[in-house]
Structure 1
Amino acid sequence: MTPTIQLNERHRLNFNEKLALMAMPSKKRVWILKTLGRWERKNARQRIRQQRDIRGKKLTPKQSKKKSKMLKRMGKGLEPYVRNANRLELGWKNKLTGRIAARHHLGQKQRITAAQMRKRWGTPDYSAQCTKGQARKLRELGYTVPRKSGKGRKKPTLRHIMETVNHGKAGLIIKEMSNQKSQTAWDIPLAERQILGSREQEVNRQLIKIIEQARRRN
Structure 2
Amino acid sequence: MAGRSTVDLDIRGYLGAQEQLALLSLPPKLRRRLLNNVSKRVRSMSRKRVRDQQNLDGSPFEARKGSSKGKKKMEAGLAKLMQVTSVSADEAVLGWKNALTSWVAAQQHNGVSERRTAAQMKRWNTVPADLAATEKQAKRLRKLGFKVRQEGKKSLTRPSVAWIQEHVNYARAGLLIRILDDEKTESSGAQSWEITLPKRQFIGVGTEGDTASLLNQVLQQILNSPR
The TM-score normalised by the length of structure 2 is 0.62
Partner of 1:202: 210
How far apart are residue 196 of structure 1 and its match? 1.1
Partner SS, residue 76 of structure 2: coil
Shift of 1:72: 2.4
| 2:36–2:87 contact (8 Å) kept in structure 1 | no
- 1:35-114, aligned counterparts within 5 Å? 35-64=37-66, 66-68=67-69, 70=72, 71-109=75-113, 112=116, 113-114=120-121
Bigger mean CA deviation after superposition, 76-85 or 51-60: 76-85
Give the TM-score normalised by the residue count of structure 1.
0.65
RMSD between superposed Cα atoms in Å: 3.0
Q: Where in structure 2 are there 5+ consecutive unaligned residues?
A: 127-137, 147-183
- Residue 22 of structure 2 is aligned with which of 20, 23, 32? 20
What secondary structure does 1:109 align onto?
strand
For residues 41-63 of structure 1, give each alpha carbon's deviation from its aligned partner in whole angstroms, at most 9, with x where no partner exists: 11001000000010111112322
C-alpha deviation, 1:106, in angstroms = 1.6
C-alpha displacement at 1:78, in angstroms?
A: 0.7
> For residues 62-211 of structure 1, what are the structure 2 equivalents within 5 Å?
62-64=64-66, 66-68=67-69, 70=72, 71-109=75-113, 112=116, 113-115=120-122, 121-122=141-142, 124=145, 174=187, 183=191, 185-198=192-205, 199-211=207-219
Deviations 1:5-52 (A, max 9, x none): 112145331211111213321111110000000110110010000000
Compare the two structures and name the one with the higher helix fraction. 2
Give me the whole-angstrom Cα distance separating, in 1, the residues matched to 2:65 and 2:202.
19
Unpaired runs of 5+ residues, structure 1, are: 126-170
Distance 1:61 1:86, change over 3 A: same
How far 1:89 sits from its partner (Å)?
1.4
- Aligned pairs, how many? 165
Distance of aligned partners of 1:82 and 1:26 in 2 relative to their CA distance in 1, 3 Å threshold: farther
Distance 2:218 2:52 in 1: 26
